[in-house]
Structure 1
Amino acid sequence: MINIEHRDRLVAVTVFGEFALADYKEFEELVNYKIQFSGPIDLLFDLREMAGFTLDVAWEEIKFSRQHAHDFRRIAVLTDDQWLTWSAWVSQLFVDAQVQVFDDETEARDWLGSAAETVE
């Protein structure tokens, strides 16, 4: 299950339990809409409550990242899991956005906010 918050050029996703393909598709749809009307956006992924993800989500994420390699400015990942930290760094290979891993939500949002200030 996911919860999505969005405003201006920010999309924030919180994942609870298993991240399933239907959840990812919901995320994709919103991001595609925001990119179409706002241009490059910032993402905040809160994965602290994620129990895991399905294999089809992993594959969809790779395809989506490659399609949108230039559509993200900054991506903040909230996690304390070393495996997810490592995978966040690997995802930088597919996008030209700045990717940063955080364990504190306020720091993550401040970092994303500093990017928004330079654009406006």
Structure 2
Amino acid sequence: MISPEQAETFAAEWIAAWNSHDLARILSHYAEDFEFSSPFIVQIAGEPSGRLRGHAAVGAYWAAALQRIPDLRFERESVLRGMHSLVIFYRRFDGRRSAEWFEFGADGKVIRSAAQYAD
């Protein structure tokens, strides 16, 4: 199981990476071939499945999102932990609540992630 310390450290660094807008720092949390899903992938990347795989594809999507939303900031609310996964609840720059689920590989890098957003 992911320890409370591991969960807190990951959540703090993940939020800080996004708030820095440093794409390399954001991607450093993820395995090279990780899979990411988000409803915004359909709008921003034009991928109808809402899923992208790998640093190149997800990195291009996130770079476009960061460019479209220059004031993007996240504020951590809470973290839930599981065996090989955790969920971060946070508020986005617009005040809306969001959550992201992360599954970790043996090396501690994210292998799958999915974002959910409140309306």
TM superposition score normalised by structure 2: 0.27
The higher relative CO (CA closer than 8 Å, separation ≥ 6) is in: 2
TM superposition score normalised by structure 1: 0.27
